[in-house]
Structure 1
Amino acid sequence: MSAVPATAPGHGSPAVNRSATVDALIIGAGFTGLYQLWSLRKLGLNVRVVDAASDVGGTWYWNCYPGARTDSPSHIYQYWFSDELLADWDWKQRYVDHTESSAYFRHVADRFDLRRDITFNSRVDSARWDESARRWQVTTSTGETIAARFLITALGPLSAPVVPPFKGHDRFKGRLVHTARWPREGVDLKGKRVGVIGTGATGIQVIQTIAPEVASLTVFQRTANYAVPMINPTYGEAERAAMRARYPQTREAIWTTFVGFDEAAESSPYFSLTPEQRRATLERLWADGSLRIWVAGFMELLTDAAVSEEISEFVREKIRARIRDPKLAAKLVPADHGFGTRRVPLENGYFDVYNRDNVSLVDLRETPIVEITETGIRTSAGEIALDVIILATGFDAGTGGLTAIDIRGTGGRSLRSEWKGEVRTTMGLQIHGYPNLFTTSAPYAPAAAFCNAPTCLQHQVQWITECIEHLVKEGRTRMEPAAETEASWLAHHDELAAQTLVAKTRSWYTGANIEGKPSRLLSYIGGLPAYREACSEVQRKGYAGFELA
């Protein structure tokens, strides 16, 4: 059997005894980490990046499974800090696959000479705050010790894959892989009996991609998912020239929308329109072939149960029309949550694969998995023989990347232990009790889920950079949020979350996919403009509410 790899290549290399001192240490060489490195270099700081992968890209290094693709358009899924970079990079299509994303990050790293400050194939195992030295003491899997004045986590919200606790993992004699740790050399699926567990965004991409090449495909579904058909044109020179001409307007627009895209939501309240007008608007949004019906449609979708039900039924109609077998359609149409209250992916033929003779669906709510056997998966209805099992079982979102590291703050307090009881952050940027630790994609910021990731992550990098610049200029050696500031932000976050249907829906958005994880909406849902204003207010007030020394 091939087990799910727990670590990146290179972790088995012999340990070395080395030590270093830097101004700032960044964990992660993905979208955030590369920009953060570039930004802190501009301040003249000595900066290091450590990443478990063997190259840059973060999510887009690991996401090389069949069908991996962004669902934010390429013209907004990019950096904005360099006009030269915008001018010299050519996007090939509206929604880029993992090969194009990876190529983009390699280009950025090479263009700005970032690799010389990045240590690859090295995982951060622990970080301990040394109060006397006012530095973080960081240890890595390769035996290195790094002392850093500032520690910045650029781990991404979906970086800690979840392997479900089914019995018998080690007995399976075929190939078992997790999508988040897909072998870079690929997996031969042609003519194989394949099982895919999970029908979230990743599972949908895998299923629709491999169905035509496998002998048989068994999909194990726990929760039916909504999805929107993707329209993905390729770009020629004329399209790219038009895109570049709009870049100044695009750069401004992304900061003003609720989720950091470049299109504003519908301005008319949903029920102010006639039924015919509502239907026509939904059809227009649907025909765009994007997430616009979710992120730039009627925002009452997230708060008004009547609006949610009407739009959800519109989407259910679209799904039913794609599936020939009404009984199968009933299993694939979500009935336990509204459209948009869970992560909505784009799809390209997903629902149509269930019309194929070689594809079958196992509803885990009717016939749960009992165990993995030597030859396949046994459910309560019997055993299904498989050659390959693909786990598209998601992530410990928002928190998993941080709690995988043994982070110790003031007085030796443990972030891992504290977050078992309650996950706390201040604006998703800092945590009380952990001085000079800056976080990105952490809970209670839009970047944790409700934002075009590049937009919100670039904003967080800019805030962190300006904050560090302020500390350096002022001769400050220590900064953390006051406990009262953190409590105030969480109260504000909870007040907004309670007004939404999202917080009432079981999903990874609320940590419900992880047994024992504290239940709370992980992402700030007040919208990007409100979040940016809150961050700016902290700066205008000289970081009031934060303890600087």
Structure 2
Amino acid sequence: MSDAAADTNGDGDVDVDAVVIGAGFSGLYMLHKLREQGLDVRVYEKGDEVGGTWYWNTYPGARCDSESHIYCFSFDEDLHREWTWSERYPEQPEILEYLQWVADRLDLHRNIEFEREVTSATYDDESATWTVEMADGERVTTRYFVTAVGCLSKPYRPDFDGLEEFEGEWYHTARWPEDGVDLEDEHVGVIGTGSTGIQFISEVGGRADHLTVFQRTPNYAVPAQNRPLSEEEYAEIRENYDDIWERARDSRLGMPFDHEHETDYGLSDEDIEDVLEERWQQGGFRFLHTFEPGAILSDPELNEKVSAFIREKIRERVDDPETAETLVPTDHPYGAKRPPMDYDDYYGTYNRDDVSLVDVDENPIDRVTTDGIRTTDDHYELDVLVFATGFDAMTGALLAIDIEGRNQRLEEKWEAGPRTYLGLMTHGFPNLFTITGPQSPSVLTNMPLSIEQHVEWIADCIAYVDDEGYDRIEASEDSEEQWVQNTNMLAENMLFSEAKSWYRGANVPGKTQVFTPFPGGLDNYREICARIARDDYDGFELGRVAAQAE
């Protein structure tokens, strides 16, 4: 235990200086950073190995949607110069292998307890400490409580009538069996066509005897243009890594991509078509950077031109006109939901005779039967049912833990939507830090860079609290209120407000719908956080326990 932590605890020693929940990207770096500062840190991980998202999501086709050379840690030059990614968008096993390699390389396993589920955490104001309890009843006391549980961690499954009567097998993609599932010669039904569904459908379309896709809302899937990375490409990346990281940090989305034009001002329709086609061939999030992403996400006329381009691409790829129109999104602008990637000819999958598309917006699911799914108009016989229905995003994993602060539970405080300052702390819950919490850029960006920025800010904050002899820090009520209002105002002035998305909790019935990430850009957000820290953590309240204050 660090001397600072031990000396400032007015009510006796704690078991550890800091408890971190989760051993994915966030938890691993938080452990490394705090341990470098001399703190005694313990990480609790529900799984039996590191990996976070990439430990749990092992379904067929699982990949990241950020390019591999930036979907990694940047804080240690040796790490990104020693590791070589095999392709532009690596699959889940390779990302998991990378995180396990990092954990070994930095000797992190010795501070992680696996197969330990945290069920509750309670704050004691007199001692400025947290008591964290596990599922097996064990308790540990700590000064700092850091959640690294991820934004997309708690699976959501619709509550369809009759599921318990289904005589086949059913799975959620986020809890795919470790040994996999043999889908050969099976009639498979998949519910959901978001990012996960698109990956799964593309992978399984040619494997199952028949695949039936139940789609509620079509999406704008842009080709990833995935490919193996050559030695020459990687040599160039390594040569320019410093510049790559600098440009990524100084960007809206945490990606080092230049845009062709700020807006479409002064461009003819032919010019716009040409530049969109060029970026379409480049693929991935480079397409969103055809114009400045903030302009695409704010200007309805510009967005419609981009959206119409994608719709036409879908029509060109799908042979059957009726199927094509079912796959064409018209109910939301491009980018108002997380833009999915097409890694393996997703739209071409629907040209296969053994793949069927059911529009459940027009033909809703009535119930699951013993041998399939009944909609209002038909019955579909299935051997295997797969839920690619996503997550209770942003808040679900946090609220699954019974967190009690000063006279209030977090679930009660966030009943009408999350309330944070910077997405890092919430009033009434001192010394509780939420990595990539609600109202931070998080899921609107390349996640590893947002994670690194949060971890470094939290570590610096903890060092400041200890060095200045304080025992606790929390967001002030006023600063929290202003930050929530600012986040909501920015979102309402952008096109995010025109989509029913998991950004707003719209995918979970009964959940309060409020835009949860901060939409002002990672570059602006970094500057705000840095200024607040320079100003001695303006907007935060710092204090000492009574024994120390006297």
1:338 deviates by: 1.2
Residue-by-residue CA offset, 1:89-138 (whole Å, 9 max, x unaligned): 11111100001001000100101110111111111100000112211101
Distance in 2 (alpha carbons) for counterparts of 1:380 and 1:491: 42
Residue 27 (1) aligns with residue 27 (2): no
Q: Aligned residue for 2:507?
A: 513
Distance in 1 (alpha carbons) for counterparts of 2:289 and 2:486: 22
Distance in 2 (alpha carbons) for counterparts of 1:407 and 1:71: 32
1:345 deviates by: 1.0
1:542/1:298 CA distance change after superposition, 3 Å:
closer
Map 1:355-374 to 2 at 5 A.
355-374=351-370
Distance in 1 (alpha carbons) for counterparts of 2:87 and 2:112: 30
2:212 partner SS: strand
Q: How many residues align?
A: 529
Report the residue type matching 2:423 in the other structure: G
Distance in 1 (alpha carbons) for counterparts of 2:435 and 2:506: 22
Residue 258 (1) aligns with residue 257 (2): no
Higher mean displacement: 355-364 or 141-150 = 141-150
1:238 deviates by: 2.5
Higher mean displacement: 180-189 or 304-313 = 304-313
Distance in 1 (alpha carbons) for counterparts of 2:168 and 2:418: 38
Residue 381 (1) aligns with residue 386 (2): no
Is the Cα–Cα contact under 8 Å of residues 50 and 124 in structure 1 kept in the other structure? yes
Q: Which runs of 5+ in 1 are unaligned?
A: 1-18
1:483/1:76 CA distance change after superposition, 3 Å:
same
Is the Cα–Cα contact under 8 Å of residues 260 and 289 in structure 2 kept in the other structure? no
Q: TM-score, normalised by structure 2?
A: 0.94
Residue-by-residue CA offset, 1:415-444 (whole Å, 9 max, x unaligned): 112212232111100011100000012111
Residue-by-residue CA offset, 1:326-351 (whole Å, 9 max, x unaligned): 01111000011111111111112110
Q: Aligned residue for 2:440?
A: 445
1:468 maps to which of 462, 470, 485: 462
Q: Aligned residue for 1:230?
A: 224
1:29 deviates by: 0.2
Report the residue type matching 2:394 in the other structure: G
1:278 deviates by: 1.3
1:213 maps to which of 200, 207, 216: 207
2:503 partner SS: helix
Report the residue type matching 1:386 in the other structure: L
1:333 maps to which of 328, 333, 348: 328
Q: Aligned residue for 1:77?
A: 71
Distance in 2 (alpha carbons) for counterparts of 1:147 and 1:317: 58
1:312 maps to which of 307, 312, 316: 307
Distance in 2 (alpha carbons) for counterparts of 1:489 and 1:423: 11
Is the Cα–Cα contact under 8 Å of residues 263 and 291 in structure 2 kept in the other structure? no
1:141 deviates by: 1.4
Is the Cα–Cα contact under 8 Å of residues 20 and 145 in structure 1 kept in the other structure? no
Q: Aligned residue for 2:7?
A: none
1:20 deviates by: 7.5
Distance in 2 (alpha carbons) for counterparts of 1:480 and 1:296: 41
2:415 maps to which of 415, 420, 427: 420
Distance in 2 (alpha carbons) for counterparts of 1:355 and 1:290: 23
1:63 deviates by: 1.2
Map 1:177-326 to 2 at 5 A.
177-295=171-289, 297-299=291-293, 300-326=295-321
Distance in 1 (alpha carbons) for counterparts of 2:166 and 2:470: 56
* Dislocated runs of 4+, deviation >4 Å: none
Q: Aligned residue for 1:7?
A: none
Distance in 2 (alpha carbons) for counterparts of 1:335 and 1:90: 40
1:340 partner SS: coil
Is the Cα–Cα contact under 8 Å of residues 503 and 520 in structure 1 kept in the other structure? no
Is the Cα–Cα contact under 8 Å of residues 259 and 527 in structure 1 kept in the other structure? yes
Map 1:169-184 to 2 at 5 A.
169-184=163-178
Residue-by-residue CA offset, 1:183-238 (whole Å, 9 max, x unaligned): 11000101100000000000000000011110110000000111011211212333
Report the residue type matching 2:508 in the other structure: I
Distance in 1 (alpha carbons) for counterparts of 2:264 and 2:287: 13
Q: Aligned residue for 1:122?
A: 116
Is the Cα–Cα contact under 8 Å of residues 266 and 297 in structure 1 kept in the other structure? yes
Q: Aligned residue for 1:11?
A: none
1:298 deviates by: 3.8
Distance in 1 (alpha carbons) for counterparts of 2:497 and 2:506: 11
1:510 partner SS: coil
2:367 partner SS: strand
Map 1:519-530 to 2 at 5 A.
519-530=513-524
Q: Which runs of 5+ in 2 are unaligned?
A: 1-12, 544-550
2:57 maps to which of 49, 60, 63: 63
Distance in 1 (alpha carbons) for counterparts of 2:291 and 2:116: 43
2:457 partner SS: helix
Q: Aligned residue for 1:392?
A: 388
Distance in 2 (alpha carbons) for counterparts of 1:415 and 1:430: 11
Is the Cα–Cα contact under 8 Å of residues 333 and 498 in structure 2 kept in the other structure? no
Distance in 2 (alpha carbons) for counterparts of 1:435 and 1:257: 31
1:73/1:160 CA distance change after superposition, 3 Å:
same
1:101 partner SS: helix
CA RMSD for the aligned pairs?
Answer: 1.3
1:344 maps to which of 312, 322, 339: 339
Q: TM-score, normalised by structure 1?
A: 0.95
Distance in 1 (alpha carbons) for counterparts of 2:183 and 2:481: 50
Is the Cα–Cα contact under 8 Å of residues 155 and 441 in structure 1 kept in the other structure? no
Is the Cα–Cα contact under 8 Å of residues 157 and 398 in structure 1 kept in the other structure? yes
Is the Cα–Cα contact under 8 Å of residues 423 and 518 in structure 1 kept in the other structure? no
1:100 partner SS: helix
Distance in 2 (alpha carbons) for counterparts of 1:171 and 1:504: 38
Distance in 2 (alpha carbons) for counterparts of 1:385 and 1:286: 38
1:407/1:102 CA distance change after superposition, 3 Å:
same
Report the residue type matching 1:437 in the other structure: L
